[in-house]
């Protein structure tokens, strides 16, 4: 009996750890984050943003490809080993040359189709780089050709928007295999079609791959099937046959929503990416069929993510959390072009179907009397939008706004009086939040007057000490600097999350004599716990420190001073006296105070010199 030997054997290779770690052995801050393999290369991505390239046999370091776009989270080497595609934590995708003859001047192309999302999988197919992200989108970045050694062109676009996180991508010739948390799809790049493999849903991170099968000809040569995939088909603006789908097939398996979503998404993506999108939008506005298709596409694309805010039955926008819908810039352009053509009734009709569009309408009506748009403005409950209208508010306007807000606070539409339950107004924009807007608009004293006139409309305790303390501080500070109001309001409101800051503010008010303040600075513990008072780097470090030690950890002045000295250049000394800020005698005498610009001084030094505004800024 003969024993047939297996076609493969296992070989134990030498340990290459020291060789791999050699380029970063003396740099503690650089760590490898990911790696990729090809036929003859190994590439490692690093926290520094650099790519370290090694030969496989023999294993040796051959090249460092620098990058300044942050730590690399994923990378892949092209089949011909001429390019490396990589991604960072911001969702940006980059492709660079992999030429060992180069020592500097690497060409780099960037795609931001997935910006803000996590890249979960990457795969090369010829000159095309396919990338998937954590929200189910797949893009293709196609390299064209080099114009010069310092520049090469490409095109990139989203080609698939699927149901969940992309777990794995695999490519073979003109076929792409895409696995999500629930399904697996096979895609034909040339025909621009895809279909689901199997009917049973998955639940978790499962993948799939192509099996390569070589066919032997009679003469013993190996035959590989190849297809020309050098160019992606460009989509027409509206073409039921184009697209990667076979129908404010899908039908046959019962996925009716999917059959509408994908061509709609492709249509809007094309409009957004086109350099001639202005002319294309003009064509959409003027053509009734395109017009209707555009609106349907916006609604369909955002219906899946529920980012297109809902409206009341009467057509008014309902309050919504500040979520920007997909293709928001395109929607705004569309509304603006309609408005400029005086087709305003059409604009209002669109707004009833896409309530988000009211935001753009309000911007276009900013020159009108504010009372005429006040109901819509308030019902949007968009704090950023309200901020942009603050210069137009008067005492009379705020009186009416408070009356309307009291109705809205009860979750009732300001136009028809119907109740809504999809969002809580008090949790989206509280009475305290409305009060902060009034203070920024008319000042602290007048804000209290407005609220006092409408006290019966306000629930007991709905206006907290935060509002009243802010009003008092603004009334005193604005006497010396009228430009300080908005920044001071934001600083006090944000610092109220910290018990130490609340105590300092109370102490500051108790020490004020006859409504007079010593200067326009804030105590260090207040300034350091706000992102709006010149010490944002300090505040960020304090939040990290607090999370690591627990929310009950109390902040100390010495602890804050330590972070100030570490975070701000020259932040360790008082420029008035030249002594370190950490001086126990001077701290006991008057504390540490910070102006809105971030300059910090001993309180005793400011008192001695009778200085109201920042001395460092006055000198400049």
- The sheet with strand 193-196 has its strands ordered as 166-172, 175-180, 184-188, 193-196
Distance CA 566, CA 322 (A): 35
Q: How many residues does the chain have?
A: 620
90 in Cβ contact with 101 (< 8 Å): no
Cα distances from 452 to residues 166, 478, 489, 493, 509, in angstroms, run 55, 21, 19, 20, 21
Structure tokens belonging to residue 398: 């705020």
Give the tokens for residue 251: 């039908």
pLDDT given at position 381: 82
Strands (E), 212-359: 215-216, 222-223
Q: Which pLDDT value is given to residue 219?
A: 52
Identify the three-state secondary structure at position 355: helix
pLDDT at 568: 64
- Using one digit for the tens of pLDDT, what is the confidence trace for 326-363? 888 898 888 888 887 767 777 888 887 777 788 888 88
Look at residue 243 in the predicted model and tell me its pLDDT. 38
What is the rounded CA–CA span in Å between residue 131 and residue 367? 46
Residue 225 pLDDT > 60: no
Mean pLDDT of the chain: 82
Confidence of residue 549 (pLDDT cuts 50, 70, 90): low
What the block records as the tokens of 346 is 């059409």
Per-residue burial over 186-216, b = 16 or more CB atoms within 10 Å of its CB, e = otherwise: ebebeebebebeeeeebeeeeebeeeeeeee
CA 207 to chain centre: 29
Rounded Cα–Cα distance for residues 601 and 575 (Å): 7
pLDDT, position 149 = 35
Contact between 603 and 585 (Cβ < 8 Å): no
Contact, 2 vs 17, CB < 8 A?
A: no
- Cα separation, 355 vs 295, in Å, equals 12
Residue located via tokens 């407005």? 450
Q: Which phi and psi (to 5°) does residue 577 adopt?
A: -110, -15
Question: What end-to-end distance do the CA atoms of the chain give, in Å?
Answer: 97
User: How far apart are the C-alpha atoms of 326 and 352, rounded to whole Å?
Assistant: 18
Evaluate the CA torsion angle 570, 571, 576, 581 in order and state its sign.
negative
- pLDDT tens readout for residues 492-515: 999 888 888 899 999 999 988 787
φ, ψ for residue 151, nearest 5 deg:
-155, 135
Q: Is the pLDDT of residue 234 over 60?
A: no
pLDDT in tens, 10-29: 777 788 889 999 899 888 88
CB atoms within 10 A of CB 612: 16
pLDDT of residue 101: 67
Per-residue pLDDT of 558-582, as tens digits, reads 777 777 777 666 567 888 998 988 8
C-beta of residue 159 within 8 angstroms of C-beta of residue 244: yes
Indicate if the pLDDT at residue 221 is higher than 60: no
The secondary structure of residue 156, as a DSSP letter, is E
The reported pLDDT for the residue numbered 299 is 83
Nearest-angstrom CA–CA distance, 500 and 551: 13
Cβ proximity of 521 and 546 under 8 Å: no
Q: Are strands 600-602 and 215-216 parallel, antiparallel or unpaired?
A: unpaired
- According to DSSP, the β-strands at 137-148 and 151-161 are antiparallel
Q: Which residues contact 504 (CB under 8 A, 6 or more apart)?
A: 523, 525, 526
Report the percentage of the chain scoring pLDDT > 70. Answer: 83
Mean pLDDT for 600-615 is 91
Q: Measure the CA–CA gap between 274 and 267, rounded to whole angstroms.
A: 11
Structure tokens at 529: 């716990």
Q: How far apart are CA 539 and CA 550, in angstroms?
A: 16
Q: What pLDDT sits at residue 455?
A: 94
Backbone φ, ψ for residue 99 (5° rounding)? -120, 110
Averaged pLDDT, 261-288: 84
> pLDDT tens, 41-58?
999 999 999 999 999 888
pLDDT for res 61? 92
Yes or no: say if 411 and 419 are a contact pair by the CB < 8 Å rule: yes
If pLDDT is split at 50, 70 and 90, which confidence band does 465 have?
Answer: very high
d(CA 571, CA 573): 6
The DSSP letter of residue 187 is E
CA angle 587, 588, 592 (to 5 degrees): 30
| Cis before 344 (ω within 30) | no
Q: Given this model, what pLDDT does residue 146 score?
A: 37
Residue 386 phi/psi, 5° resolution?
A: -60, -40
484 or 148: which carries more pLDDT confidence? Answer: 484
Cβ-based neighbours of 129, under 8 Å, separated by 6 or more: 76, 78, 83, 85, 93, 95, 122, 123, 140, 141, 142, 143
535 SS3 class: coil
CA distance 533 to 526: 9
- The better pLDDT of the pair 495, 212 is held by 495
Confidence of residue 255 (pLDDT cuts 50, 70, 90): low
The arithmetic mean of pLDDT across residues 102-129, rounded, is: 85
Cβ neighbours of 341 (radius 10 Å): 13
pLDDT in tens, 174-206: 889 999 999 998 888 777 777 888 778 888 888
**In the 8-state DSSP scheme, what is residue 476?**
H
What's CA 421's distance to the chain center, in Å?
A: 28
Query: Is pLDDT larger for residue 423 or for residue 596?
Result: 596
CB 43 within 8 A of CB 84: yes
Q: 261: exposed, middle or buried (C-beta count within 10 Å: 0-12, 13-18, 19+)?
A: buried
Position 450 scores a pLDDT of: 96
Give the Cα separation of 140 and 176 in Å (integer): 11
Q: What is the DSSP-derived secondary structure letter of residue 458?
A: S
């Amino acid at each position: 009996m003969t024993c047939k030997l297996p076609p493969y054997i296992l070989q134990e290779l030498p340990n290459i750890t020291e060789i791999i770690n050699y380029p970063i052995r003396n740099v503690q801050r650089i760590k490898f984050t990911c790696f990729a393999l090809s036929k003859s290369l190994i590439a490692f991505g690093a926290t520094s943003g650099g790519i370290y390239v090694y030969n496989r046999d023999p294993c040796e370091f051959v090249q460092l490809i620098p990058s300044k776009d942050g730590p690399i989270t994923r990378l892949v080497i092209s089949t011909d080993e001429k390019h490396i595609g990589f991604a960072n934590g911001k969702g940006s995708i980059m492709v660079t040359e992999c030429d060992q003859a180069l020592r500097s001047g690497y060409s780099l192309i960037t795609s931001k189709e997935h910006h803000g999302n996590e890249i979960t999988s990457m795969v090369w197919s010829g000159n095309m780089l396919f990338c998937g992200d954590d929200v189910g989108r797949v893009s293709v970045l196609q390299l064209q050709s080099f114009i010069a050694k310092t520049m090469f062109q490409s095109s990139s676009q989203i080609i698939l928007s699927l149901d969940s996180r992309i777990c794995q991508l695999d490519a073979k010739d003109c076929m792409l295999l895409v696995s999500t948390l629930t399904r697996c799809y096979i895609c034909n790049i040339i025909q621009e079609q895809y279909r689901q493999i199997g009917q049973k849903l998955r639940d978790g991170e499962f993948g799939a791959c192509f099996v390569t099968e070589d066919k032997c000809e009679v003469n013993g040569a190996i035959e590989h099937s190849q297809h020309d995939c050098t160019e992606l088909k460009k989509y027409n603006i509206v073409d039921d046959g184009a697209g990667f789908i076979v129908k404010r097939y899908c039908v046959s398996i019962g996925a009716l929503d999917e059959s509408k979503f994908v061509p709609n998404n492709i249509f809007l993506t094309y409009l957004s990416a086109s350099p001639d999108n202005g002319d294309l939008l003009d064509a959409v506005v003027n053509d009734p069929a395109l017009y209707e298709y555009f609106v349907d596409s916006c609604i369909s694309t955002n219906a899946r993510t529920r980012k297109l805010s809902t409206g009341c039955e009467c057509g008014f926008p309902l309050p919504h959390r500040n979520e920007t819908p997909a293709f928001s810039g395109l929607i705004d352009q569309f509304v603006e072009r309609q408005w400029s053509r005086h087709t305003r009734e059409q604009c209002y009709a669109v707004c009833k179907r896409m309530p988000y569009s009211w935001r753009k309408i309000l911007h276009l009506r900013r020159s009108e009397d504010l009372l005429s748009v006040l109901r819509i403005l308030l019902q949007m409950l968009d704090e950023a939008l309200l901020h942009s209208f603050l210069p137009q508010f008067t005492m009379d306007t705020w009186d009416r706004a408070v009356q309307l807000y009291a109705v809205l606070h009860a979750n009732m539409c300001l136009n028809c009086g119907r109740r809504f339950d999809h969002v809580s107004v008090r949790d989206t924009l509280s009475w305290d939040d409305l009060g902060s807007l009034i203070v920024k608009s008319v000042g602290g004293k007048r804000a209290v007057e407005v609220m006092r006139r409408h006290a019966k409309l306000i629930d007991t305790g709905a206006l907290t000490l935060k509002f009243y303390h802010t009003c008092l501080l603004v009334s005193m500070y604005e006497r010396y600097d009228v430009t300080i109001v908005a920044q001071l309001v934001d600083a006090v409101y944000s610092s109220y999350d910290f018990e130490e800051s609340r105590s300092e503010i109370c102490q500051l008010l108790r020490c004020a004599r006859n409504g007079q303040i010593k200067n326009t600075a804030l105590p260090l513990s207040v300034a350091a716990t706000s992102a709006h008072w010149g010490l944002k780097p300090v505040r960020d470090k304090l939040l990290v420190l607090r999370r690591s030690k627990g929310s009950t950890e109390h902040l100390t002045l010495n602890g804050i001073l330590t972070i100030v000295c570490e975070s701000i250049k020259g932040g360790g000394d008082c420029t008035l006296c030249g002594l370190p800020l950490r001086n126990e005698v001077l701290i006991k005498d008057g504390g540490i105070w910070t102006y809105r610009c971030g300059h910090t001084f001993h309180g005793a030094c400011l008192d001695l010199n009778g200085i109201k505004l920042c001395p460092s800024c006055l000198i400049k």
